[in-house]
Amino acid sequence: MIIPLLILLPFAASLFVPSLYTYVHSKKIGWVVMPIPLILFTVLCLHIPKLAAGGTEAFTIRWLNDAGIHFTTHLDGLSMILGLLITGVGTLVVIYSTYYLSEREALGRFYMYLLLFMGSMLGVVFSDNVLVLYVFWELTSVSSFLLIAFWHQRKRSRDGAKKAMLITVTGGIGMLIGFLMLHAMTGTFSIQAMIGMAGTLPSHELFVPAMLLILLGAFTKSAQFPFHIWLPDAMEAPTPVSAYLHSATMVKAGIYLVARFIPLFGGSELWFYLVTFTGLLTLLWGSFNAVRQNDLKALLAYSTVSQLGLIMSLLGMGSAAMLDIPGLDTAVFTAAAFAGLFHLVNHSTFKGALFMIIGIVDHELGTRDIRRLGGLAVFMPITFSIALAGSFSMAGLPPFNGFLSKEMFLEASVAVRELSLPGIGVWIPAAAWIASVLTFVYCMIIVFQTFFGRQQQTPAWVDRGAHDPQFGMLAAPSILGLFIVGLFFFPNVLGRWVLQPAMAAIYPAYGDASQLVPHIRAWHGFSPALWMTLGIIAVGAVLYIFLRQWRVIYTIPPFSWRIDTLYNLWIVQLEGNSRHLTKRYMTGHLHRYFVYILLFFIAVMTAGVSFIWKRAFNFSGDAPITVNEYVLIAVMMTAAIAVLFAKSRLIAILLNGVLGFTVAFLFVVLRAPDLALTQIVVETVTTVLFLLTFRFLPDWKKERTAKRTKVINASIAAATGMLVIVMALIVQGNQLFDPISSYFTDVMEQSGGNIVNAILGDFRAFDTMLEIVVLLIGGLGVYALIKLKSRKGGGNYED
Amino acid sequence: MKINDVILQTVTKIVVFIILTFGVELFISGHHDPGGGFSGGLVLASALLLLYMTYDIETVHKGIPFDFKKIAGLGVFLAIAGSMVPMLFNEMFLTQKKGEFQLPIFGATELSMELLFEAGVALTVVGVVVTILLTISEDVN
């Protein structure tokens, strides 16, 4: 019961936060928000013992019974890890933002988006129903979009937000289709129920397409190659957001999804190849590109991309344990998945801390460009210590938690080489090793180029001098720093209580999850992994020292290529072309638009009349045409033709009125009092409105149109009229089904009454309801267009 | 040029009430005879149009101090919310019920859920038509 409440609490809170301004000083809004993630974190912590004992907790709120869509939450080890990260890091980020963001910012909006994100992210990890999960998944994209564009006055922020949105939502829609395919295969929307049927699925023809589409969603969200390009641009968001969404939580959603679906897809070789190799490629490309960055935040962005690739590849190797290969030593591969989960937690601690530290440097010195930073260790000792811990942990050095998971990664990469599958070989540990060397290099860049070396004079430095920030700002990264060190010394506490239940969720086929959890040791003899680490340090140090010399390779073609170029080409071309096209046909001349509409109508109708519909006319059931009708039609035609020759606007409108009232009269003759009544009132009101708009129109000038244009216009008008007549006759002559009106009259005969109103208010009431909504929108549209016209010199929001 | 509109003003004062009564009559009779929410609403709106055209906007606004945008919104709300009421009693959305009621003045009267729905339609029509009219004519100022 408690888990749905956990998801709903942030949503509920986000509604109230913006109105806090009235009661709370803007600087203190963060302190009002902070208890929310803290409460959630505490509640989740209280569930840890139950999960560690092997339990799970599911709760269903029944929703759409016919469609099988229910709001089902499923708390197990895997969702627990993510839940703890979302709420734990969330609490720290809120504390940090309270000090980081100036009180002049729109803080109410900021915390509203942040809570919105927190709720949707919890929804993603706790939902068992794939469609509900999908909705929350897209909500995280939306809140991420809002947060990246938080400083929306900057064009770069807006572009970054747009890019992130385009890429992640495209993947998300692919994932939705994948989910629907899964539903088609299994007949259920529940992930747990699907996992229960895992054995029967691989032979199904939709199995591979569903897998590919779900991976597309996961890879776009987790910034895997080649979709990683949105993440560096997302760094335009305020730093607390980067620390929270774009390193610790949201980008882990894809990893969560892959881990969640390992029981379903893990037995497939294609899955193993795709996840492992995409992960490795991302790891290499990300670390390679991180080295070339000058902006510390961009460097961290690429390093996040690379670390996400590392975790992804570990999960891929982990899924190999489920491959159907005789004599397979599964323990090696389950250890890889375990390392992936372990690194997932570690990465959130050290990367979150590093982002916050970079934020502090930026806040204190006004720049994050490493070419303008240096020698800060003396002035900012505490900041420096945390940065050192975070960077060395990321580089994989003891005594920090990153060392443990990095060693396990290297071990796994060596072990997977033994797998007797095509394409597997020594190059996997080689790739892992090269990426680790590059990781080591950029970690050294963070530490040494920022905190050692010559002091650079930045403007902010000259003003205020550099020093550690106030305690509150350091609190959050310090707590993460404690975890970085603490997890190194007590990794098995985490392993036993948090990671073991998660392993049980990934490998439900193994009865006892405790066999899947290796005992983590810092020292495990002279294994290949240790030699690789020593090699990394040696080669990495050399590369760092000669960085300036070999950095030129980034200008040489294969290395200077960027996926961004493709994206920019595509988006810029698309925008340019559509603007060009739109300008060509949106001329601002009303009669041109009429021509487009009518030409389209003529084209569709001509095609229909010539090829699709039966052209049989049937006049047998028609009533005889009397003198009354002939006279009225003659009046209407005269009025219509006379409009064309009217000398003034008033006459034109009056003639139009004649036409309308004659139609009303025709309705009377044809014994349709309701229609006649409505037509009369409508005609009256529109004539008044016509007259009202008179004074805005320029003087009536007899337009001198070329003869050719006149002929074209006349023929378009004539063709439209003819087609309408033909269409009406065809409809009259070819009844495919019994008319529904007989049903209406049958029903009405029993009750008696006005059949027109019964149709409007009862049989077709849904139409009527939507029609008045449209009417309201139209009215408000007129109001908005006229009243809210942009004032002179007002901003143009369309770049 | 000052337009002399004494006759128009005098006639309007009387005629408006006739039109308004006619509008209400149309609205109520809609269940069995020609009329209903849409045409009733339009007639009511045209009475208001006449008022606004005869007198100026400020004068009319003193007598009828409504925001007609809100009236239109209220109409849509009535129609949609009224249609949802049956859902509370486990009926389908838009189920229309009717019954005979003993009312103080009218005696035995047949009342239907449609009345609420039609009232929503009428209010929307009145609100939208007057909003459009006022917006366009105020634009001059």
**A23 and A79 in contact (C-beta within 8 Å)?**
no
Mean pLDDT computed over B50-73: 87
Residues A272, A322: Cα–Cα separation, whole Å: 10
Q: Is A779 exposed, middle or buried (0-12, 13-18, 19+ CB in 10 A)?
A: buried
Across the interface, whether the CB atoms of A769 and B33 are under 8 A apart is answered no
Across the interface, whether the CB atoms of A761 and B72 are under 8 A apart is answered no
Domain region containing B17: 6-138
| A190 phi/psi in degrees, rounded to 5 | -85, 130
pLDDT of residue A590: 83
Radius of gyration of chain B, Cα coordinates, nearest whole angstrom? 18
Percent of all residues in chain A with a pLDDT value above 90, rounded to a whole number = 41
Lowest mean pLDDT among A87-96, A440-449, A684-693, B35-44: A684-693
From the list B31, B127, B128, which residue is nearest A754 (CB)?
B31
pLDDT of residue A731: 81
From the list B96, B124, B140, which residue is nearest A762 (CB)?
B96
Interface of A with B in 630-689 (CB under 8 A): 673-674, 677-678, 681-682, 684-685, 688-689
Residue A335 has pLDDT above 50, yes or no: yes
Dump pLDDT digits (tens) for A96-138: 998 888 878 888 888 999 999 999 999 999 999 999 999 999 9
**A95 and A472 in contact (C-beta within 8 Å)?**
yes
Chain A closest-CA separation from residue B38 CA (Å): 8
**B76 and A714 in contact (C-beta within 8 Å)?**
no
The answer to whether residue B48 sits within a structural domain is yes
**A473 and A96 in contact (C-beta within 8 Å)?**
yes
- Look at A511 and B121; give whichever has higher pLDDT: B121
CB neighbour list of residue A88: distance below 8 Å, 6 or more residues apart: A37, A41
The CATH architecture one would assign to domain A589-748 is Up-down Bundle (1.20)
Interface of B with A in 109-138 (CB under 8 A): 114, 117-118, 120-121, 124-125, 127-129, 131-133, 135-137
pLDDT of residue A705: 76
Across the interface, whether the CB atoms of B135 and A752 are under 8 A apart is answered no
pLDDT band at A266 (very low <50, low <70, confident <90, very high): confident
The answer to whether residue B82 sits within a structural domain is yes
Dump pLDDT digits (tens) for A634-650: 999 999 999 888 888 88
* Chain B residue with minimum CA distance to A671: B34
Mean pLDDT computed over A232-257: 90
**A67 and A492 in contact (C-beta within 8 Å)?**
no
| A467 phi/psi in degrees, rounded to 5 | -160, 165
The answer to whether residue B1 sits within a structural domain is no
Instruction: Provide the 3-class DSSP secondary structure of residue A91.
Output: helix
Mean pLDDT computed over B39-63: 88
Residue B15 has pLDDT above 90, yes or no: yes
Across the interface, whether the CB atoms of A685 and B79 are under 8 A apart is answered no
Dump pLDDT digits (tens) for B78-132: 998 888 888 888 778 877 777 777 777 777 777 777 788 889 999 999 999 999 8
Instruction: Provide the 3-class DSSP secondary structure of residue A22.
Output: helix
Whether the CB of B35 is below 8 Å from some CB of chain A: the reply is: yes
Dihedral Cα A358, A364, A370, A374, nearest 10 deg? -120
**Tokens representing residue A54 in the block:** 């092997």
Residues B75, B69: Cα–Cα separation, whole Å: 10
Which chain A residues contact residue B30 at CB under 8 A?
A: 754, 757, 761
Percent of all residues in chain B with a pLDDT value above 70, rounded to a whole number = 93
Mean pLDDT computed over A191-219: 90
pLDDT of residue A750: 64
Instruction: Provide the 3-class DSSP secondary structure of residue A223.
Output: coil
Dump pLDDT digits (tens) for A543-602: 888 888 888 788 777 777 777 888 888 888 888 899 999 988 888 888 889 999 999 999
pLDDT of residue A662: 94
Name the DSSP letter for residue A378: T
Chain B closest-CA separation from residue A703 CA (Å): 26
pLDDT of residue B58: 84
**Tokens representing residue A92 in the block:** 């720290």
pLDDT band at A794 (very low <50, low <70, confident <90, very high): very low
The answer to whether residue B36 sits within a structural domain is yes
Q: What type of residue is A162?
A: K
pLDDT band at A38 (very low <50, low <70, confident <90, very high): very high
Instruction: Provide the 3-class DSSP secondary structure of residue A722.
Output: helix
Question: H-helix or E-strand containing A62?
Answer: strand A57-64
pLDDT band at A51 (very low <50, low <70, confident <90, very high): confident
Q: Is A185 exposed, middle or buried (0-12, 13-18, 19+ CB in 10 A)?
A: middle
Lowest mean pLDDT among A142-151, A201-210, A465-474: A465-474
pLDDT band at A459 (very low <50, low <70, confident <90, very high): low
Cβ pairs bridging A and B (under 8 Å): 124
Neighbours of B116 (CB within 10 A): 17
Across the interface, whether the CB atoms of A695 and B26 are under 8 A apart is answered no
List residues bridging with A64 in a β-sheet.
A69
pLDDT of residue B97: 72
pLDDT of residue A790: 54
pLDDT of residue A280: 94
The answer to whether residue B35 sits within a structural domain is yes
Dump pLDDT digits (tens) for A340-385: 999 999 999 999 999 999 999 888 888 888 888 877 888 888 899 9
Place of tokens 């001349």: A589
Domain with CATH 1.20.120 in chain A: 589-748
A693-724 burial, b at 16+ Cβ within 10 Å, e below that, comes to eeeeeeeeeeeeeeeeeeeeeeebeebbeebe
